[in-house]
Structure 1
Amino acid sequence: MGHHIGEHKARKGLIRIEFDEENGVAEHIRITGDFFMHPEDVVHELEETLEGHKIEELDGILEEFFAVRMDVEMPYVNVEDFKIALKNALKE
C-alpha cells in the first residue's frame, strides 16, 4: 500500500490531492485546498467518483467528471489544475 500526496498552486488557490494506493487502485481520496468550488458538495462527489479506480484511469475520470458537471463554478481554477495536482501525487 502506498500513500500519495500531490499539490498544485493554481492561479487562485492551492489544490491538494491525497490518496492511498492498494494493488494499483486509489482509495481514501481527499481533495482539499484553498480554492473555491460551487456547489460545495461537488468536491465530495468528485472524491467518490475517483474512489476505487485504477490510478492510471484517474486523469481521464477527472476530465470526464468536469465535462459532465457543467454547473460547477471554479473561479481561477480549472480541470488542468486538478490534473497537475494528481500528476504530482503520482510522481513519488
Structure 2
Amino acid sequence: MRYLGEHKARKGLIRVEIEERDGIVEDVKITGDFFIYPESVVDELENALKGRKLKELEAVVDDFFSMRHDIEMPYLNVEDFKLAIKKALGEWNE
C-alpha cells in the first residue's frame, strides 16, 4: 500500500511517500521545498525508515535526529518530519 502525506512547516513543505507491505516500510521518499544540511541527511533518514514497522516510524525519526548534531534545518524541527509521516498514515486530524 502507498501512503502520501504533506506538512507545511513554518518555512517549507515536507512531503513523505511511504510504500509498505504487511505493516513494514518497503520504500520511503522525503521531498519538499525545505533546506537541510548536509543534503545527505534526507537519504540517510529514508534508509533508517526502510524495513521498519509503520508504528515505529516516529521513534525512528526521534532516534535518528537525536544521534546527529551536525544537521542544520532552519525553520524546521523533528516534529515537522513526524507530522508529515502522521499525515501520510492518516493519524493526524487538522
Class of the TM-score when normalised by the shorter of the 2 chains: over 0.9
Q: 2:48 maps to which residue?
A: 49
The structure 1 segments of at least 4 consecutive aligned residues displaced by more than 6 Å after TM superposition are none
Which amino acid counterpart does residue 36 of structure 2 have in structure 1?
A: M
Q: Distance in 2 between matches of 1:51 and 1:91?
A: 19
Task: Report deviation, 1:33.
Answer: 0.3
Which amino acid counterpart does residue 26 of structure 1 have in structure 2?
A: V
| Cα distance per residue 1:15-70 (max 9 Å; x no partner) | 01101110000111000000000000110000000001000000000011000011
Q: Distance in 1 between matches of 2:79 and 2:26?
A: 22
CA RMSD of aligned residues (A): 0.9
Which amino acid counterpart does residue 33 of structure 1 have in structure 2?
A: G
How does 1:65-84 map onto structure 2 within 5 Å?
Answer: 65-84=64-83
Q: 2:20 maps to which residue?
A: 21
Structure 1, unpaired ranges of 5+: none
Q: Distance in 2 between matches of 1:74 and 1:81?
A: 11
Q: Distance in 1 between matches of 2:68 and 2:34?
A: 17
Report the count of equivalent residues.
91
**1:37 lines up with 2:23 in the alignment:** no
Structure 2, unpaired ranges of 5+: none
SS at match of 2:34: coil
SS at match of 1:32: strand
Q: Distance in 2 between matches of 1:57 and 1:28?
A: 15
Identity of matched residues, %: 57
